Structures are given as C-alpha cells and as structure tokens.
Amino acid sequence: MGEKIYELKKIKKKGKGMPLIGDKFPKMEVQTTQGMMKLPEELKGKWFILFSHPADFTPVCTTEFIAFQNRYEQFKELNCELIGLSVDQVFSHLKWIEWIKEKMDVEIQFPVIADTGKVANTLGLIHPSKATNTVRAVFIVDSSGIIRAILYYPQELGRNMDEILRMIEGFKTIEEKSVAIPANWPNNELIGKGLIIPPATDVETAKKRTEQYKCYDWWLCYRNYHKW
C-alpha cells in the first residue's frame, strides 16, 4: 500500500493537468482484463466510454458494473464501447468479474483497465481525500478520439447508466441533424422529442424563424424529431 501511495504522489508531481472537453483523449497503452490496449487509436472509428470506479469488491461499484453490462448491447448498437478502470491489479479485476458471474449470473464482457495510478492521474480521477481511490468519473469520447463530455460523481452516489446512454444518443442526433438537445430529451416538458434549432445569427434569419419552425419566439424554435 505504501508503494502505491508513493507512486501516485510521484506521478502527480509530473502531471500536466487533466484533459478538458474538446481535447484529444491522451494516448496511452493500458493493461486490461482482455489484454493490452492502445487508446484511443485502437477504438478509432468508434465512440467509447471510459468510466472509473473506486475499487473492486465494493457494493455500489458492483451494481454499476451490472447496470453497464445490462445495457452493453444498447451501447454497441450506437457504435460505442465501454471500458472500466480502477487502481487495482488485473488479478483483482478478474476475480471480481468471476464473482459477479458466479453470484449474480452476469458476465462482464467489456474490458477493465488495471491501473497503477498513471492513467488515473493523467485523467484527474484520484479522489482528493483518498490517495488510492478513483472517483466515479465518466469520459465520453467520440469516433475521432475527442472528449465530448466528462462526468464526476462522489463515491457514495451510483451513476445513472440510462443518462449516459441518452447522452450518446443525443450526441449522435446533434451530429446527424445539426440541432441542440433540450432538457430531459426525449421527454422534454415543452417540446417532447422535439429538437432545438440553432439560434439565428442575423436579423433576416430571425424574422423567418417563426414561419419555418414551431417557435415560442424567434430565439426558441424547434422541429419534430422525424421531420427531416
């Protein structure tokens, strides 16, 4: 344990700061439960979600892994892969995955990174009050290796995987239809599954908005999802 803490502190001193939304996902070679992987190049052309958990064999993390696995096929249908991570050795990950299969009858099919602390520090995942534990972070990375969203949760609060799945669907809709996504989409209180038209950038366009689309005003216009 002492060696692990020392290694984490040493890495922190060398750190260059965590990546931000819009940055390229840092290049790294990682040990996983499914062998070595080179990120993000090995997943080029695919979206992926890298999510960290505090530790193996913990209650909330176990529920999260099962929840992710139960939606794995839905993520894959959206051309999106899942990758887990914590500061645990690979044999710990393997034993925990084996336990989930034996006790919960759920087979974890996505890879889990066995981190020494290097990846966690590069991505800013170390819990501030617990030197060796990673926070519940989520990095959503697009098919070009660009970080599109970053989420952080405390250890006590499990994630909502349906929201993460919704975010992938939302990003793909934004790219396909050049729109914005309203709150609680696709069940928004004002426009349901409607999609928001980007704001007008000149007077003439603003005047035409109310004629072209459904609008509350020229700056808040939307179209139905299927009318494209």
Terminal Cα distance for the chain, rounded = 57
C-alpha 46 chain-centroid distance? 13
**Nearest to 110, CA basis, from 142, 143, 74, 134:** 74
Helix or strand (DSSP H, E) at 104: helix 90-104
In a domain, residue 173? The reply is no
Separation CA 130–CA 183 (nearest Å): 34
The tally of domains found in the chain comes to 2
DSSP assignment letter at 83 = E
Q: Quick one: pLDDT band at residue 16, thresholds 50, 70, 90?
A: low
- Report the SS3 class of residue 220: strand
**Above 70 in pLDDT, residue 167?**
yes
* Pair (35, 90) in one structural domain: yes
155 and 184 together in one domain: no
Establish if 170 belongs to a structural domain. Answer: no
Select from 132, 159, 186 the last residue of a domain.
Answer: 159
- Token pair for residue 36? 């070595």
Q: What is the pLDDT of residues 95-122, one digit of tens each?
A: 999 999 999 999 999 999 999 889 988 9
- C-alpha 42/C-alpha 193 separation (Å) is 34
CA distance 78 to 65: 19
The H or E element containing residue 113 is strand 112-114
Residues 92 and 202 in one domain: no
- pLDDT-derived band at 132, boundaries 50, 70, 90: low
Alpha carbon distance 199, 206 (integer Å): 8
For residue 202, give the DSSP letter. S
Q: Which residue has the tokens 């290049």?
A: 27
Note the pTM of the prediction, 2 decimals: 0.88
Alpha-carbon span 49 to 180, nearest angstrom: 21
Q: How confident is the model at residue 125 (pLDDT cuts 50, 70, 90)?
A: confident
Which two structure tokens, joined as six digits, stand for 8? 């984490």
Same domain, 23 and 131: yes
- 135 shares a domain with 41: yes
Q: Choose between 51 and 129: higher pLDDT.
A: 51
CB 60 within 8 A of CB 133: no
CATH number at 102 reads 3.40.30.10
Does 105 map to a domain?
yes
Which range marks the domain in which residue 185 is found? 178-223
For residue 19, is the peptide bond before it cis, meaning its omega torsion is within 30 degrees of 0?
no
Query: Do 165 and 75 meet the contact criterion of CB atoms below 8 Å apart?
Result: yes
Identify the bridge partners of residue 149 per DSSP, sorted by sequence position: 140
Catalytic residue numbers read 61
Tens of pLDDT, residues 169-226: 999 999 999 999 999 999 999 999 999 999 899 999 998 999 999 999 999 999 987 6
Structure confidence by residue, pLDDT tens digits, 17-31: 789 999 999 999 999
